[in-house]
Amino acid sequence: MDYRHELSRLIDIDGVSREEIEKLITVPKESDNGDFCLPCFRFAGLLKKSPVVIAKELAETITASDTADFLSNVEPKNGYLNFYLDKSDFNRRILEKVLSEGDAYGASDEGRGRTVCIDYSSINIAKPFHIGHLMTTVIGAALYRLYKFLGYNAVGINHLGDWGTQFGKLIVAYKKWGDEKDLENRGIRALLDIYVKFHKCAETDDSLNDEARRWFKRIEDGDPEAVALFDKFKEVTMKEVDRTYKRLKVSFDSYAGESFYNDKMQPVIDELQEKGLLCDSDGAKVVDLSAYNMPPCLILKADGATLYATRDLAAAFYRKKTYDFYKCLYVVAYQQNLHFKQWFKVVELMGYDWYKDLEHVAFGMVSMEDGAMSTREGKVVFLEDVLNRTVEKARAVLDEKSQTLENKDEVAEVIGVGAVVFSALYNSRIKDVVFSYDRVLSFEGETGPYVQYTHARCTSVLSRAEITENVDYSALDNPDAVAVVKAIAAFPDALSDAVRKYEPCYVARSVMAVCQAYNKFYFEHRIIDAPEEKRNAMLILTKAARQVIKTGLSLLGITAPDKM
């Protein structure tokens, strides 16, 4: 049952549509004030009555009706109309719905016919896939899964950083100090070493930078040797990052990076010129944004070279033409706030109303406990190394606490990787995160292992008894059980909130709420020893909780183990 919808059908206010009433119905902060409530303050001016009187009159009308059999009480209080659900009816409806829908519980078709492009991860070719890429990768991938789950046509785009002078630098470095066997054995780490060496040497020998620019020009011109080296670096990079993507359960529909838009920028530049938006600034071409309290958006350097904004504009026009998106999301750190505001404004000034469908999904930075990182200086923490270390630590915990567990390596991989992903998605995305191995791997508190362990606990309970036909839902007429059912019932709304606000943390927190409520229920109530009909009800509750935990973790990109 859609309780908000059914409650709105009980309320008749002249001049107010049922759709408006339904949107106003909410869940009270305090459970003592009912399961749902309707604030009546909005109607005071229209009805020329106080909210207190309006709530009282509505309560009397509903109480006199025989159509609210799913309610146990309706109570006016301080201008609010509070609704109390019949708990047995509520429990039965929610749990039967979860069991009948299974993996589809929480899914919808709200996005039918709408395409959402999501630009995330966007790693740089020949540079480390490091801990700083964690947030964009897992947030973007979670949104991708969520949009698909809610019926949207989601398009995952890895806008590869595969263009720029740095490739000229890398070719110079490789020709001077590179080693084919070392590259085969160590991949990106070998490229990083010579890249760092280039920058150190260039500090005292500026001719290296001139040579790098010449090599990049050769890439632009299609020189066979330059392109072959460029392709080699790209192949090495993708081979390594694909391994990490597989561990993180991350996938993409497009790897169209910066180089893909090389021949698509000129039409955009021409249109900007035709519409009188380009201005000269010391030889460079810019769009003046001073009227909007922003610095100018740089389109072309004085030497005619393009920039990130030029390529982002070309990419946006290509995506609109190719996918006709409903939304186009850019999952990029908050340091780029100005960049996106600038070129979004340029699209608006060009006269395209779809500028409002471009969204910068900003997030905070991830750093290690021992400080910041710099690719040029070689101070980086490879994401693969972080995953390996968390898996090793998880394996050590399993060796200590779960000595008889089979497939320990597989379970350790699931726990270790899941711990990293959950830690990145549990808090609001805009917060900066300091990564701590001990904290993310804790089996207590608001962590991935805690959620995974709860799933394993539910599986263990269900393996010890079979659910038979006769069910006495009165076994769930207690605050602990109702709290679990309420948390389960809130899951679909959490998914909608997550896509509406681009916040996967709503899903993580909803799953955590189910886990915390279930664990409290588990410790306070005997399940297996209860009489059959009551035991069936508690087993159904357990099965529904496990389903929501599994689905929620899956949407976040985390595996739910049956044993730990």
H-type helices in 102-206, by residue range?
134-149, 165-177, 180-186, 188-202
Sorted by where each begins, the domain ranges of the chain are 3-85, 267-305
Residue with tokens 């002078």: 165
Q: Which of 387, 461, 385, 376 is nearest to 420 (CA)?
A: 387
pLDDT digit string, tens, across residues 146-160: 999 999 999 999 999
The amino acid present at 94, given as its one-letter code, is: I
Between the alpha carbon of residue 345 and those of residues 291, 297, 318, the distances in Å are 11, 9, 17
Model pLDDT, residue 487: 96
Element (H, E) at 38: strand 36-39
CA gap 155, 105 in Å, rounded: 23
Task: Give 155-174 as a DSSP string.
Answer: EEE---B--SHHHHHHHHHH
DSSP category for residue 379: B
- Place 373 in a pLDDT band, splitting at 50, 70 and 90: low
Is residue 378 helix, strand or coil?
coil
Lowest mean pLDDT among 305-314, 376-385, 544-553: 376-385
The answer to whether the beta carbons of residues 236 and 191 sit under 8 Å apart is yes
Nearest-5° Cα angle at 139, 137 to 140? 65
**327-331 and 115-119 beta bridge pairing:** parallel
Q: How many helices (H) and strands (E) does the chain have?
A: 22, 12
DSSP category for residue 326: S
Residue with tokens 């146990």: 72
Model pLDDT, residue 374: 57
pLDDT digit string, tens, across residues 290-308: 999 999 999 998 888 888 9
Average pLDDT over residues 349-366: 96
Question: Distance from CA of residue 179 to its chain's centroid?
Answer: 40
Model pLDDT, residue 370: 65
pLDDT digit string, tens, across residues 271-286: 999 999 999 999 999 9
The answer to whether the beta carbons of residues 284 and 234 sit under 8 Å apart is no
What would the two tokens of residue 231 be? 């392709």
Annotated catalytic residue within 56, 87, 127, 543: 127
Residue 97 burial by Cβ neighbours in a 10 Å radius (0-12, 13-18, 19+):
middle
Residue 254 burial by Cβ neighbours in a 10 Å radius (0-12, 13-18, 19+):
middle
Question: Is residue 127 among the annotated active site residues?
Answer: yes
Task: Give 419-460 as a DSSP string.
Answer: HHHHHHHSS-TTS-EEE-HHHHT-SSSSSHHHHHHHHHHHHH
Q: Which CATH superfamily is domain 3-85 in?
A: Arginyl tRNA synthetase N-terminal domain (3.30.1360.70)
Average pLDDT over residues 306-335: 96
pLDDT digit string, tens, across residues 69-87: 899 999 999 999 999 999 9
CA gap 233, 174 in Å, rounded: 10
CA gap 550, 298 in Å, rounded: 47
Annotated catalytic residue within 87, 130, 393, 534: 130
Q: 266 Cβ partners below 8 Å, 6+ apart?
A: none
Query: What is the C-alpha end-to-end distance of the chain, expressed in Å?
Result: 35
Q: Which of 125, 137, 199, 130 is nearest to 379 (CA)?
A: 130
Average pLDDT over residues 105-111: 97
What would the two tokens of residue 34 be? 């009912």
Judged against a pLDDT cut of 70, whether residue 17 lies above it is answered with yes
Which position has the higher pLDDT, 88 or 509?
509
What would the two tokens of residue 412 be? 């350790």
What would the two tokens of residue 415 be? 């726990």
Question: Is residue 199 among the annotated active site residues?
Answer: no
Lowest mean pLDDT among 303-307, 325-329, 557-561: 303-307
Q: Where are the beta strands (DSSP E) in 161-296?
A: 278-281, 284-287
The answer to whether the beta carbons of residues 517 and 490 sit under 8 Å apart is no
Average pLDDT over the chain, rounded to whole? 94
Annotated catalytic residue within 56, 87, 133, 360: 133
